Amino acid sequence: MTLTEKLLSAAAGKEVKAGDLVTVPLDLVMANDITGILAVKLLEKYGLRPGVPEKTVFVLDHFTPNKDILSAENCRVIREYCKKYGIRCLEGADGGIEHALLSEIGAVTAGDLVIGADSHTCTYGAVGAFSTGVGSTDMAAAAVSGKTWLKVPETIKAELSGRLPEYTSGKDVVLSLIGEIGVDGAAYRSLEFTGEGAATLSMEDRFTICNMAIEAGAKNGVFEADGKTLEYLKSHGAKEPKVFKADKDADYSGTVKINLGEVVPTVACPSLPSNVRAASELKNIKIDQVVIGSCTNGRLGDLHRAAALLKGKKVAAGVRAIVIPATQRIYKEALADGTLSTFADSGFIISAPSCGPCLGGHLGILAEGERCVSTTNRNFVGRMGHVKSEVYLASPETAAASALAGYICDPSEVTK
């Protein structure tokens, strides 16, 4: 059995295989301020009470701090609903971007089954959990029943070897993978990241890789929980983990091999995450904005890697540079260790934790014809503003280097 089959078998209480339809109990059900308001209105309309309030959480992060009256009203409705039924509602001093926040506060552990009304819920595979995104109505049903149904996915083995070179990280790995298999290359399949190279990756790298599994069409992405995972879970107060391992004779639908040592700083050009090129090939592309943050690359390690390149240097004239720590805790840690001072001294604006510009929400919208290098996860037409703007996806290192250069460049260029 594959790792995903092991996780779903344990939850279902019976052995399952790819293609089976199963109903499974959930360890966590979540929604945000955009998807959550739809679920709340549906539950209220039909008079349905949440059956598992202790396993349900709302994170207000997409249009917060509230950008307009409608977003403020939606958040108010969610807050009142959560207070009425004793559901956790995370925002402000206790908040941040959902897919960085929930693992940070220990809400997810290895062996958990998690669904969220947000497609990037697949992030939690980094800690050895099965996690996937659903629609608002499925989330509402799960909040009532504590269960969901799904088809057990086939699994693609992503076999990693070697070790990442300097100035590369998890974002370069996952962009390289998506570039190879395409945005539908893993459609409704699990991406299982394994091999001796997997153990060399940091937890930040693993979160980034699993976060973007959906950009290859995957149902979920998952790493086996190892020593690094267990140390992370313990340090973040997660409950007792349940560790599963894929069988050596597991049945995979395909295998993709990636030598980490051959990964280079990689950029996804408009307007698909699969339209990838080496950063060194894009030096003629001038940029207007850089965004470092999001549920993909707004963790402390991400900020540290970018700040190391920025220290003592200035953002190029004409480039608007924005850094968004993913959670309030990360903000405070980056403030305390001087990382935010490095960003500010180099010319970055420091934003409150928020999804902000990632989905074209606020705090960095693009005008017609503008180009942005961003550490976010999608670069579809109009994703960050005007339909004739362009978003280039990159790692924190490449984004920081590009901010300094004023054009897309390999991080090694700014260290010479």
DSSP category for residue 107: -
Place 162 in a pLDDT band, splitting at 50, 70 and 90: very high
Output the CATH code of domain 3-239+250-260.
3.30.499.10
CB-CB contact of 101 with 327 (8 Å): yes
Report the alpha-carbon distance of residue 135 to residue 89 in Å, rounded.
19
Reported as a single tens digit per residue, the pLDDT across 121-131 is 999 999 999 99
Q: What pTM does this model have? A: 0.98
* Among 351, 291, 297, 356, residue whose Cα is nearest residue 63: 356
Q: How far is CA 350 from the centre of its chain?
A: 20
Under DSSP, is residue 115 helix (H, G, I), strand (E, B) or coil? Answer: strand
Reported as a single tens digit per residue, the pLDDT across 383-404 is 999 999 999 999 999 999 999 9
Reported as a single tens digit per residue, the pLDDT across 341-379 is 999 999 999 999 999 999 999 999 999 999 999 999 999
pLDDT at 416 over 90: no
Report the alpha-carbon distance of residue 369 to residue 389 in Å, rounded.
5
CB-CB contact of 295 with 325 (8 Å): no
Q: In this prediction, what percent of the chain has a pLDDT beyond 70?
A: 100
Q: How far is CA 338 from the centre of its chain?
A: 25
Domain boundaries, the chain: 3-239+250-260, 267-415
Q: Which residues pair with 391 in a beta bridge?
A: 372
Q: How far is CA 56 from the centre of its chain?
A: 20
Which residues 6+ apart lie within 8 Å of 11 measured at CB?
A: 22, 24, 25, 113, 130
Report the alpha-carbon distance of residue 278 to residue 263 in Å, rounded.
9
The CA–CA distances, whole Å, from 196 to 130, 178, 223 equal 21, 21, 12
CB burial of residue 279 (10 Å; 0-12, 13-18, 19+):
buried
Which residues 6+ apart lie within 8 Å of 123 measured at CB?
A: 99, 103, 131, 207, 210, 211, 295
Reported as a single tens digit per residue, the pLDDT across 76-93 is 999 999 999 999 999 999
For residue 138 the two structure tokens come to: 């499925």
Q: Which residues pair with 28 in a beta bridge?
A: 114
Which whole number is the average pLDDT over 170-186?
A: 98
Q: How far is CA 329 from the centre of its chain?
A: 17
* Among 20, 214, 233, residue whose Cα is nearest residue 127: 233
Fold of 267-415: Aconitase; domain 3 (3.30.499)
Report the alpha-carbon distance of residue 334 to residue 104 in Å, rounded.
15
Encoded amino acid at 341, one letter: S
Please tell me the chain's helix, strand, coil percentages from 3-state DSSP, rounded to the nearest 5: 40, 20, 40
Encoded amino acid at 226, one letter: D
pLDDT at 160 over 90: yes
267-415 matches 3-239+250-260 in CATH topology: yes
